[in-house]
Chains A and B, each alone.
Chain A
Amino acid sequence: MTLIVILLNAILVDNFVLSKFMGICPFLGVSKKLDSAAGMGAAVTFVMVCATLCTYPIYTFILVPMGLEYLKTIAFILIIALFVQLVEMVLKKKVQSLYNALGVYLPLITTNCAVLGVTILNVDKEFGFAESLVNSLGGGLGFTLALLIFSGVRSRVSNADVPEMFKGVPATLIAASIVSVSFMGFSGLFG
């Protein structure tokens, strides 16, 4: 039961993009088209879950016993960078079709704050292994959901007649603020 609560909480209530402001760059940069939004979302979800799969054991079995918790930022970002590189290489060699779909988004993910954010958040909230994985999955799905919704909103905004000074990024940000208001409706859903 708690796992489901964590999952829904991460997708809807604590949405990474719209309430925690993580991964704003891809949210604004890659949300112009539905298919690229879906590709980026899938890549981020995949890397988030796998990064948690790697960082959790390293934190619990190496950093904590040796009293090196303060090195978690350095350790996690290196693991993520390494992992992204590895996934890119493996996909390129072995799974060509998946590489074509996700490949272009992978290098961007190293510096995506949502990925580093979710791994540190799991440690800060003292989640267990299963809870961490579910939280990461929820975070990734929430990110994808926000990107998909926003790509739809954005295609309408780009056709709208906005004042000259608001054209481009300002109009996009204000549209994002309205989408964010709609997600506020979920707050307090699980107490």
Chain B
Amino acid sequence: MAEKTVQKQENKGMLKELTKGIIKENPTLVTLLGMCPTLAVTVMASNGIGMGLATTFVLICSNLVISLLKNVIPKAVRLPCFIVIIASFVTLIEFLMKGYLPELYDSLGLYLSLITVNCIILGRAEAFASKNSVLASVLDAVGMGIGFTLALFAMGSIREIIGTGKWFGIDLHLPVTMTLFIMSAGGFFTLGVIIALVNKIAGKSAPAEVGCAACPHAENCPSYNKTEDKKEAAAE
């Protein structure tokens, strides 16, 4: 009986690893990581999903491998090791996409290679996979990946519908379209409005800082340290 309760609690814990990335710690909308692909590729809903799934694949594989190797990798050189593991999987997904989805490959272009330096992946490797069990790391990656994909899909849908009057290429016959939304200015604007709405719905005031806490370089970052100093000063 007692065993069963423990098992149940463990399951609940694992489920939390999975769901936290989707809503509570959504990488794009709450912790504000991986902004570059969020803004750059979301001119179409299908691009957003493609980018989201590619990133999810790399995230799951790299979290899996890093949590398997966490006791082998020396602490001093962990970041270069993580980067090589991540870059290998990015190369893999580049090949797969070039072979099977050449159209998507062309429209994502350079940003596919830039998954390597997506802060979400290195951030999860550093903050989670290098400290937790394999199963928890994979669940964490799946959750974060789904959260990222959903955010990109929402961004892409809004920008495609308002900007071109289409959704997944299907004409919606809208009376007015604003081309500005598929341009770079529209990207910043849409993301700003979505984050504001998420803040409103979540019922908390907006995060004052860009989400640097999960960044592997946070300890060296001037803007992050400043807020930490402030917090410490306030605590004193």
Contacts across chains A and B counted by CB atoms under 8 Å: 159
Chain B residues bordering chain A, tally (CB within 8 A): 56
With A120-B110, A124-B110, A169-B192 known as contacts, the answer to whether A18 contacts B117 (CB < 8 A) is: no
Among A18, A21, A166, the one with the most B-chain Cβ atoms within 10 Å of its Cβ is: A21
> Dominant SS at the A interface?
helix
**B206 — nearest CB in chain A belongs to which residue?**
A168
A-contacting residues, B176-216, CB 8 Å = 180, 183-189, 191-193, 195-197, 199-200, 205-210, 212, 215-216
Give the A interface residue count (CB, 8 A).
52
Q: Is A4 an interface residue (CB 8 A)?
A: no
**Contact of B9 with A by CB under 8 A:** no
Minimal Cβ-Cβ distance residue in A for B224? A29
Name the B residues within 8 Å of A172 (CB-CB): 192
Q: Do A174 and B114 touch across chains, with their CB atoms under 8 A apart?
A: no
State the CA gap A77–B117 with chains docked (Å). Answer: 8
Q: Mark A151-177, 1 if CB is under 8 A from B, else 0.
A: 000000000000011111111111011
* Residue ID in chain A nearest B208 by CB atoms: A168
Give chain A nearest CB distance to B25 CB in angstroms.
Answer: 16
| Bound complex: CA A18 to CA B95 (Å) | 29
Instruction: Mark out the residues of chain A between 84 and 130 whose CB falls within 8 Å of any chain B CB in the assembled complex.
Output: 104-105, 107-108, 110-113, 116-117, 120-121, 124
**Which residues of A does B touch, CB under 8 Å?**
18-25, 28-30, 32, 36, 70-74, 77-78, 81-82, 104-105, 107-108, 110-113, 116-117, 120-121, 124, 164-174, 176-178, 180-181, 184
